[in-house]
Amino acid sequence: MSVDIQELRKLQLQEDQVRAKKESFRKDAIDTINCLIAMFGFKPSDLDFEGTYTPKILKGTRGRKTKTAVADKPKRTIKPKYVTPDGACTWTGRGKMPVKMRELVDAGTPLESMLIEKTPAEQL
């Protein structure tokens, strides 16, 4: 596959146009930044010129929590709310009811009778 000289010149012209456009955007951005600095009265110490700061918009999070941020939270243990009369099975009241407890409820045992009594300190 050979590229003729006219095609090559056309590509170079397009590349030059893209570079010029990029430089124009860059100058506009610098003008906007300088305007904002003057408007808000920022000092050099207020700004990070070391290049260590990465704005959230460049991180790609856009305010949403990432999986690692959610995973870093310690898991809360939920105290059981119900217990079978023999004390063999407990249930927090969340999710699917354990089979033993379901069998007791189906047999006619009211769920309220399996409710764990709260201590006065827990009721506050």
Residue-wise pLDDT tens digits, 51-94: 666 666 666 655 566 666 556 677 888 889 999 999 889 999 99
Reported as a single tens digit per residue, the pLDDT across 10-28 is 999 999 999 999 999 999 9
Any domain includes 57: no
**The pLDDT value given to residue 124:** 58
Range of the structural domain that residue 107 is part of: 82-114
Is the predicted pLDDT of residue 38 greater than 90, yes or no?
no
> Residue 56 to residues 5, 30, 51, 62, 63: CA-CA distances in angstroms?
45, 20, 14, 6, 7
Any domain includes 27: yes
Any domain includes 61: no
**The pLDDT value given to residue 43:** 81
**The pLDDT value given to residue 101:** 92
Any domain includes 18: yes
Q: pTM for the whole thing?
A: 0.40
C-alpha to C-alpha distance for 72 and 66, rounded to whole angstroms: 10
Any domain includes 35: yes
Any domain includes 24: yes
Domain count, the chain: 2
